[in-house]
Structure 1
Amino acid sequence: MIDFSISAETAALRDEIRAFVIDEIVPYETDPRLTQHGPTDELRGELVELARKRDLLTLQAPKRFGGREPSHVDQAVLYEAAGWSTLGPVALNCAAPDEGNMFLLSKIATEEQAETFLRPVIEGHQRSVFAMTEPDGAGSDPKQLTTKAVFDGTNYTINGQKWLITGATGAKTWIIMADVEPNPHGPSGPTLFLCDGNTPGIVIERVMSTMDRNYVEGHGVVRFDDVTLPQSALLGDVGEALRYAQLRLAPARLTHCMRWLGAAERAQSIAVEHARTRTAFGKPIGEHQGVSFMLADNEIGLQQSRLAIWWACWTLDQGARGRHESSMVKASVSEELYKVADRCVQVLGGMGISDETPVAMIFRDMRAFRLYDGPTEVHKHAIAVQILRRLEDRR
């Protein structure tokens, strides 16, 4: 049976989140602390406290950490509401990369690690990073890791460079992916490490200038100079980083889609209001066929994206890994929502390329979204591989 209904409890919480974002968070979109490199840590802290007062902070956290632990489908509904403003997920502590990192740590961190590194992130007191991407190595293909870790039987020493590390400046909880070199003391291979951001040897060289500005403190270029960590810093098992990354990425791809669906819906609402009130050639521009078709295409795209997200979330809620499904949704939704944002810019005309509305910012951020957690082409390749495997299995 296909059921698209939303429970009364989830619907009420969705409406509460949307009202909170509109009334208390949207006014911060013109705050000077929303910089070209994203919101500052100071702004984030202020927004988090607003959500805390409303008991809306980190709703997605496991119940053992005080969260509500909603299903993936319920998350889709709630995150869409939060995404009405790009600052909404920041306030509710369900923005990337923290949201995905919290999910991963809740699955594989030890109890001691969880208390030290996960709980403060859940409670909104500190931020986290996932340091994988490299300028000449790991990216859409994480197997190309160039950051190395040498194990001497007691400690791991990490050296390498990362970039596009979201939120690196000021983050305290660091997940570092490095390739453990073959050694006589134990296993080797791509491995995750967990440490404090103030660990000696972690050097933030600079913050990159990028077209998006929705992530706290932007994207950093980071160097690891003889970062020395004990065995207790291992996150999970040695050599299992790629498997753990997939554990994190499947739902994280979908939460990106959920949040950006909310932003695209916001852009559409602004475009519709403009089309209703702006006149040209004797009537509102929304009554001209060219504009009306764009608005209709947007409405279709928004609903198609919403249903695709719900379908993949339902698949995860049934216990499936969801890699294939999440790749399909990430590829299709990121492209479709970009088209929605582009049409909204077009409907708004000159206003659409200005900062008079948030549509231009949403458009820029939406273009970057097409690359987050793997570009469309990588996902399509993975989808095709799965299709071919199924064909072979049938023979």
Structure 2
Amino acid sequence: MTLDFTLSARGEELRERLSAFLDEHFYPVEAELDAEMDALKGPEPFGPLMSDLRKRAREAGLWNLFLSDKSLGHGLSNVDYGHLCELLGRSLWAPMVTNCNFPDTGNMEILHENATPEQRTRWVEPLFDGSIRSCFALTEPNTASSDPTGITTLAVHDGDDWIINGHKWFISNAVGAQLCILMACSDPEAEPHFRGSMFLVPMDAPGVKIVRNVPVFGHAGGPGHAELRFHDVRVPGDAVLGHVGAGFILAQDRLGPGRIHHCMRSIGWAERAQELAIDRAASRPHQGGVLSKSQLVREMLAQNRIDIDAARMLVLRAAHTIDEHGKRAAYRDISIAKVFAARVTQQVVDRAIQIHGALGLSDDVPLTKMWAQSRALRIGDGADEVHLMTIAKHELRNRGH
């Protein structure tokens, strides 16, 4: 395979503009924005500062960067977007400023590919425009949600409508969302991979309840990771996305690019953690000199560089495979990148915390949030073990077993 991970001329131009925009408009107010989003209670999707930054980003032409469709985005390749996404990943809220935040990106992609004209008018256009946010409800508290064929949320026909009952949790960014793309079992008697369907459920529909934001490493603020209950939620027949029974296929189509986007962002926060660690080591007094003179610390910084560069190469290889052969052909490469990037970015951030000492445990630097993101990435969008099984399956198949 010929691997070309270089930016196109268009990608390079956008990367320079994005970097300049973040330096001028985003980083000076990053702490203020973090506090604003942390206090978000809904139903509004954004606070005033976030809304202003999003307006600026759109006016600057830094909007929907993830979309390869030139009619809606910039027509970038996945490799191009990987480089830009790394920049966005340096901060928790930078992706949202450019309408490139999880889970909206994955939702927009499957809606763009599968929505009816009516669904497009009601949901897709506002999402692309950035006037609303969405969430994706798959995970359940009492089932192994890494296997979507086993979900228990039930959708039952009632005339032309569907009645939905179920319990979901760890639903990212549900607070302030207007749309929930919900996975439910629509035919318990069907073959497992055709039992589920996806439904477009308004978050203000009667029977939809946000029970709480589930605390993750002690944090439960902002758009959060919500626990949701659906009690006799009635939606019309045209609320089905795609067709009845297509839920599993749509979930796989959605999660593939979503996983690689997470990995792209993780390279960004690993790079920022490394920069913070270098600056801390070069300025922190230690035994008559500074910490960076210590061989142990230099080894940590060197290992960080090796890990970051290796993760970046695997992530860009997966992006290249998607560009050349499509997302379904890239499952193996995506799984390899997902496992490796999640593991090593956690290690990179952990070393950065160690170099900072007690300061690294505080919220005065963003390392604790980066560590939590890294640890969560080893479970979200498929646990390490699920992806290891996928990789092993491909290895065996390639040897004829």
Normalising by structure 2, what TM-score? 0.91
Q: How do residues 53-72 of structure 1 correspond to structure 2 at under 5 angstroms?
A: 53-61=59-67, 63=69, 65-72=71-78
Within the alignment, does 1:155 sit opposite 2:158 as a pair? Answer: no
Distance 1:71 1:260, change over 3 A: same
- Distance, in Å, in 2 between the alignment partners of 1:199 and 1:388 is 47
Distance 1:304 1:182, change over 3 A: closer
- Distance, in Å, in 2 between the alignment partners of 1:158 and 1:36 is 30
- Distance, in Å, in 2 between the alignment partners of 1:163 and 1:271 is 35
Q: Please list the CA deviations of residues 102-149 of structure 1 after superposition, one character each: whole Å capped at 9, or x if unmatched.
A: 111111112221221111111111001111111102511212211001
Aligned to 2:243: 237
- Distance, in Å, in 1 between the alignment partners of 2:333 and 2:13 is 28
- Distance, in Å, in 2 between the alignment partners of 1:212 and 1:386 is 38
- Distance, in Å, in 1 between the alignment partners of 2:236 and 2:40 is 33
Within the alignment, does 1:11 sit opposite 2:16 as a pair? Answer: no
How far apart are 1:28 and its partner, in Å?
A: 3.2
- Distance, in Å, in 2 between the alignment partners of 1:215 and 1:16 is 31
Residue 327 of structure 1: SS of its match in structure 2? helix
Q: Please list the CA deviations of residues 144-181 of structure 1 after superposition, one character each: whole Å capped at 9, or x if unmatched.
A: 21100111341111101101111112211221100013
Residue 371 of structure 1: SS of its match in structure 2? coil
Aligned to 1:22: 23
Within the alignment, does 1:109 sit opposite 2:105 as a pair? Answer: no
Q: Please list the CA deviations of residues 338-383 of structure 1 after superposition, one character each: whole Å capped at 9, or x if unmatched.
A: 1111111011111111122112221222211222201111111121
Residue 168 of structure 2: SS of its match in structure 1? strand
Amino acid at match of 2:166: G
Residue 227 of structure 2: SS of its match in structure 1? strand
Aligned to 1:2: 3
Aligned to 2:83, which of 77, 80, 83?
A: 77
- Distance, in Å, in 2 between the alignment partners of 1:214 and 1:74 is 34
Q: How do residues 274-313 of structure 1 correspond to structure 2 at under 5 angstroms?
A: 274-313=280-319
Residue 246 of structure 1: SS of its match in structure 2? helix
Q: Please list the CA deviations of residues 207-252 of structure 1 after superposition, one character each: whole Å capped at 9, or x if unmatched.
A: 1111286995101111111111121111011111111101011111
Residue 342 of structure 1: SS of its match in structure 2? helix
Aligned to 1:192, which of 166, 173, 198?
A: 198
Distance 1:69 1:115, change over 3 A: farther
Distance 1:371 1:78, change over 3 A: same
- Distance, in Å, in 2 between the alignment partners of 1:34 and 1:221 is 19
- Distance, in Å, in 2 between the alignment partners of 1:58 and 1:212 is 32
Amino acid at match of 1:132: L
- Distance, in Å, in 1 between the alignment partners of 2:41 and 2:305 is 29
Q: How do residues 226-375 of structure 1 correspond to structure 2 at under 5 angstroms?
A: 226-320=232-326, 321=328, 322-375=330-383
Normalising by structure 1, what TM-score? 0.93
Amino acid at match of 1:24: H
- Distance, in Å, in 1 between the alignment partners of 2:70 and 2:344 is 37
Within the alignment, does 1:376 sit opposite 2:366 as a pair? Answer: no
Aligned to 1:33: 36
Amino acid at match of 1:378: V
- Distance, in Å, in 1 between the alignment partners of 2:220 and 2:252 is 24
Equivalent pair of 1:21/1:84 in contact (CA under 8 Å): no
Equivalent pair of 1:172/1:197 in contact (CA under 8 Å): yes
Residue 80 of structure 1: SS of its match in structure 2? helix
Aligned to 1:387, which of 362, 371, 395?
A: 395
Equivalent pair of 1:17/1:56 in contact (CA under 8 Å): yes
- Distance, in Å, in 2 between the alignment partners of 1:77 and 1:4 is 9
- Distance, in Å, in 2 between the alignment partners of 1:300 and 1:313 is 20
Q: Give 5+ residue unaligned stretches, structure 2.
A: none
Q: Please list the CA deviations of residues 290-344 of structure 1 after superposition, one character each: whole Å capped at 9, or x if unmatched.
A: 0001111111111111111110011000123111111111011100111111111
Distance 1:312 1:62, change over 3 A: closer
Q: Give the number of equivalent residue pairs.
A: 391
How far apart are 1:44 and its partner, in Å?
A: 3.7
Q: How do residues 105-144 of structure 1 correspond to structure 2 at under 5 angstroms?
A: 105-144=111-150
Residue 318 of structure 1: SS of its match in structure 2? helix
Residue 392 of structure 1: SS of its match in structure 2? coil
Residue 220 of structure 1: SS of its match in structure 2? strand
How far apart are 1:2 and its partner, in Å?
A: 3.4
Amino acid at match of 2:8: S
Residue 81 of structure 2: SS of its match in structure 1? helix
How far apart are 1:188 and its partner, in Å?
A: 6.9
Structure 1 segments of 4 or more deviating over 6 A? 36-40, 212-215
Amino acid at match of 1:316: I
Amino acid at match of 2:153: T
Equivalent pair of 2:82/2:264 in contact (CA under 8 Å): yes
Identity of aligned residues (%): 36
Q: Please list the CA deviations of residues 11-32 of structure 1 after superposition, one character each: whole Å capped at 9, or x if unmatched.
A: 2211221222233222333222
- Distance, in Å, in 1 between the alignment partners of 2:382 and 2:362 is 29
